[in-house]
Amino acid sequence: MKKLLSAVLAVVTAFVLTAQPALADEITDNNAATDDAAVQAALAAQALAEAQQAALQAQIDADRAATIESHRAYVASHPNMTPEEYMILMNANPYFNVKAYMYYNEDLMSKFTYSYWKYYEHYLSSGYKSKRACVFPPDDDYNTVTLGRYSTKYNYKIARGDNLTLACNYMTGTIIPPGGAFSYNEAVGQRTSARGFKVAHVYSGGQVVDGIGGGICQISSTLYVAMMIAQIPATEHHFHSLPVTYLKPNLDATVSWGKLDLTFINPYNFPIMILAEAKDGIATIAICKAP
């Protein structure tokens, strides 16, 4: 009996040992089939997502093209459009905002300045393809109350930086009524040590010299760029005798007490306000709708 039992166990053991490789192969094949199916499903999902994205992009491109053509036709039929009408037209779509295009592309402002339609033409011809920034984020107040805003950098660790801060403090909060005149010199006031201004480098006669209030031309220049974006032409404006480091050519505006000024007339039918701040190396000027 024991011999018979031993023989049976030996046969069963041999069968199990013989069957194990086949069983392992079957499990491996099943796993491979499962992995392959998962890969195929993932590839199919990716292809579907790419097709949907391509279709969405094609629709966006078609909408953009239709908007562009309708704008071109409208401009062709309205040759006497005002700058404000140009601005409304160019910004009446989700793909392009001329203020944003100017704000994010200083090199174009240096080239086109107040020729707003040229910004749009540049965007149509090459800006879109090169992915230049042309819209503001949804939470930016440029989409609500801001007419023009710009920032420049400066060294806040020297006396010149103190002059920039002081000029902003004197000017910020200035309100200009519809048709009212603005003067940078009047808003900032005379640059004297008694009013807190310090000695710093200034341009004079094509040379760099020291003078009270040196540096405040950076604030007038930053304001000038904000005016440009806000469609507010200057009634008096002067360039520096030498290039400045904080802005590209054609964007600066020098001032001198009693001699040179930066002025404008409020062209809007509502009061506007100038907000100015120079802090931690960033000077920002904003022209907004007055509250």
Per residue in 79-111, pLDDT (tens digit) is 787 766 766 777 767 788 899 999 999 999 999
Provide the residue count of the chain: 291
Q: For every residue of the chain, which 3-state class applies, written as one string?
A: CHHHHHHHHHHHHHHHHHHHHHHHHHHHHHHHHHHHHHHHHHHHHHHHHHHHHHHHHHHHHHHHHHHHHHHHHHHHHCCCCCHHHHHHHHCCCCCCCHHHHHHHCHHHHHHHCCCHHHHHHHHHHHHCCCCCCCCCCCCCHHHCCEEEEEEEECCCCCHHHHHHHHHHHHHCCEEECCCCEEEHHHHHCCCCHHHCCCEEEEEECCEEEEEECCCCHHHHHHHHHHHHHCCCCEEECCCCCCCCCCCCCCCCCCCECCCECCEEECCCCCCEEEEEEEECCEEEEEEEECC
Residue 124 confidence class, pLDDT cut points 50, 70, 90: confident
Alpha carbon 256 to its chain centroid, in Å, reads: 32
Residue 265 has a pLDDT of 98
pLDDT digits (tens, 9 = 90+) for 225-243: 999 999 999 999 999 888 8
Q: Of 68-82, 127-141, 185-199, which range is least confident? A: 68-82
How confident is the model over 170-220, as pLDDT tens digits? Answer: 999 999 999 999 999 999 999 999 999 887 777 766 656 666 778 899 999
pLDDT tens sequence across 19-62: 555 555 666 666 667 778 888 888 888 888 888 888 877 887 78
Domain coordinates of the chain in residue numbers? 1-80, 89-144, 146-289
